[in-house]
Structures are given as C-alpha cells and as structure tokens.
Structure 1
Amino acid sequence: MTALGFLYPGHSADDDYPRIEQLLGSDIRVDLVHTDLGEERHRIDTTAAGDAAGRLAAEVQELRHAGADAVVWASTSGGFVRGWDGAQDQVRTLAQAAGMPASSTSFGFVHAVRELRVRRVAVGAAYPEDVAQLFAQFLRSDGVDVVSVHASGGTAAAAGGWGEAELLALARASDHPDAEALLLPGTDLRTAAHIPALEKELGKPVLTANQVTVWEALRLADRRVNAPELGALFTREPIVQV
C-alpha cells in the first residue's frame, strides 16, 4: 500500500481526491488534511501570508502519523507567489517537519511539463491577472516557454462550483495554437472527471492542479500508475526522477 498525503486549503474541490483515488487502484491511498483557508486565496497579499511554512509544518503531523509516504501542499498559488526560491524553502521546511519527501502543486506543474516533454504551454487561470502572471513567471524560472496567459478572475469559491461547461469555456479561451499543452493551475477547480473531455476538445495534453498534485505525490513515492481517465500525464512512462 502506498499512502499519499495532501494538505488541501479549504473545501472547494476536495472531492477530486477520492475520485482520483478510485481511478488509481486499490493499493494507493489518498489522505487529505484540510488547512485553514483564511482570506481569499486569489489575492497576492493574503496568499503569501496565509500559508506560512511553519503552519504547514504543524498541520503535516496528522499525515505523518497516518503513515503517508509523501506529502504535497495542494495549493498552486500558495507556492508560486513566493517565487522560485521561496517555494523551494517552503517545501524544504515541509519535508523536514514531515520526515518524508515533500513538494507542492507549483513544482508538480514544473515536473509534469518535463514529463510530457513539452516546452511551450498556455495557462488558463481562474485568478486575477497579477496572480496568473506570477504563475507564468514561476514556470519561466524553469525554462518553460509560456506562450499565453488567460486570467478569468473570480474567487476560489466560485471556481469550485464550475462544471464541465465552464471548464471547457476556460480551456477554449486559454488555448493558443503554439502551445503544446494547456495548464489550469487552480486546485479549487473540480477537474478530475473532465480531463478526457478537455484533452479531446483541445487535441493536446491538459494539466490540471489536482491531477498534477496527485501525480507529484506518486512521483515522490516512486510509483508509476497508468490511468488514462486522468489524461495524457497518466499514460506516460517512466515518471521523471529529479
């Protein structure tokens, strides 16, 4: 049994995780600990202040006691708003406190882009423009060519209520003909049931935050899982080791 641990802010799309667990197989367990959402996460000031590494380190103890093999901080903006170095420090503190491999959704996107062997991506974010641009900057820090950024604005609570129609609309508005993949970074987007439809619509891989978060935990645990229902990312082997 491989146990994957996640620190998830709020409840917007937390039901993606048991759905993904069902698609992965009976020997993988997904454990979720909810963190304090605090103020609206789609603002730079509250996002940077609301997920201090010390608080995450305290909350990870529940996952450690549950026997998790790896832990991922499941907030994309909660990592990248700190910049590359700040996000690395956050993950390092989390790993030290947990006593296990640790990462964040932000780095999960970077590693997933490498896994797909693509360089040019488009970003579709249910963020304000300034936050979306910080995500693009984070990706560029690793050499990813971000060819377009679309920010739909809105709140985490609103994005959590979106269905397939809204996700498809975001994907269409965000795609770019030069992009080899589309990235949808918000962990408040409920996407686990819709990735095949999104990829069919665009004709290219689509990386979504909760999908990438679970894949990143599997990478840390050195597990390979073939789950086509979760998109192109879960049909490639081997998982990149970095």
Structure 2
Amino acid sequence: MTLRTALYLSLICLLAGCVRTGGPVDPMSTEEGRDAARDAYIQLGVGHLQQGSTERAKEPLRKALELDPSSSEAVAALAVVYQYEMEPKLADEHYRKAISLSDGDARILNNYGGFLFEQKRYPEAYTQYLKASQDTLYNERSRVFENLGLTALQLGKREEAKQHFQKALRLNSQRSVSLLQMGVLSYEDKDYVAARSYYAGFSQQAQQNPQSLLLGIRLAKVFQDRDQAASLGLQLKRLYPGTPEYQQYVSEQ
C-alpha cells in the first residue's frame, strides 16, 4: 500500500465516521475529528506536491483550510505550491500569512528565505534566515546557518559567510555545502592545509560538481599531485565542459 493510498483510506474513514458502540459518529462533530481530517488533507496535499503534482495538491489543501482557516501548515504548503508554479506574488503572500499564523515558525521562515533567495531578494532572505536561526531547538538549524552563509556571499559579506559556514559545521559536521564553501574560502585565503581538509570532508559526503572539481584541481597543483590534478581535470572536461569553472580551469593551464 502506498502512502497516498493510505492517506486516502484514512480520509475515507474520517469523513465516513468511525463505528463505535452505539453506532456511527460524525467525526466533524468533535474538535479532535476536525483536526485529524485537516491533518490528513494536509498530508495528502503535501504528498501530491512531493510527487510534482501541484494542481492535485491544491484541492486537499483548500479543504484543510475550510476545516481550519488558521492552519499555518496548510497555508505554508500552498506557498510552496505557488512557488513551484512560479507565482511569486501568491507565494510571497502565503509565506507571510503562514509566518504570521505560526508566530514565526523556524521551518517556515527558512523556507521563505529560500523562496526569497530564489527570487534574488538577498537582503530579505538574509533577514528571514537570521530570524529562523534564533530558534535553538530547530532540528535543521545547521541548514539555516548554511543558507545564511550562501546569502552572505551573495551580499559580499565574506567574513560573515565564513562564520555562518563554521557555525553550520559545528552543528552538523557533514554539511557538504558548508564544507565545500569553507574549502573555497580557505583556498582563497591561502590556507591550503585547511582547504584540503574541508575538500576531503566534502568529497566523503557528496558527489563532485564543477566548483568542487576546480577546487580539487587547484589544491592538487598546490600539493604537487599531478595525477590527481589531471584526473580531476578530465572529469571537469567530460562532465561540465560548458561551465564557467571549466573555462577558468582552461585559462589556468
């Protein structure tokens, strides 16, 4: 049985009424029943969204809001729907509403920051990430600091970016993006030993990308590992020939 099938069946049970001693009871007659139905609708909407069907996600989310107009989870899910559908105005409105309804939930703040970053509204994204970072119990706090670092780079705040990436790695030493960015920044600072350490950590956690391959080539040259430099250079040429990193690699030969 798939998750979606299970959610449909749970909704059927909720809406048809559960049989108890004395006969069927309308589940919508109790707050508990309405909350359960709302949550099932939200899960169904999110399930459609995760499978890439934003159109099918809207109806269960609309029904969830009919049951509970103040559901920040339903509103936040709709914000993601509109973000996927490239409706930035509607997405922005729903993110703001969800944040207001949730009294500044860190997860929603972080998602809103991601939306703003996607829209290249970097100062606003930075503000939302900072708000999210204040929740010390948020279980994805390391991701928030990683996002702060990436946004700081876009704003030209290089030293702040380093601090944010370092904080992310203190919270979760396996954050691959932070490892790579610290490797790049350390290389630029000519701290090659630290750069190599960060690069090695990244290589253990994630697949190579154009930025990491270029960093690996540069470090191999610094440490006079010609075979490694050649191997990574071939990978960059074969996998990412049209990238700015490959053009930079060619220019440095």
Q: Do Structure 1 and Structure 2 share a fold, with TM-score over 0.5? A: no
- Scaled by the length of structure 2, the TM-score of the pair is 0.25
Question: Higher Cα Rg: structure 1 or 2?
Answer: 2
Higher fraction of strand:
1
Higher fraction of helix:
2
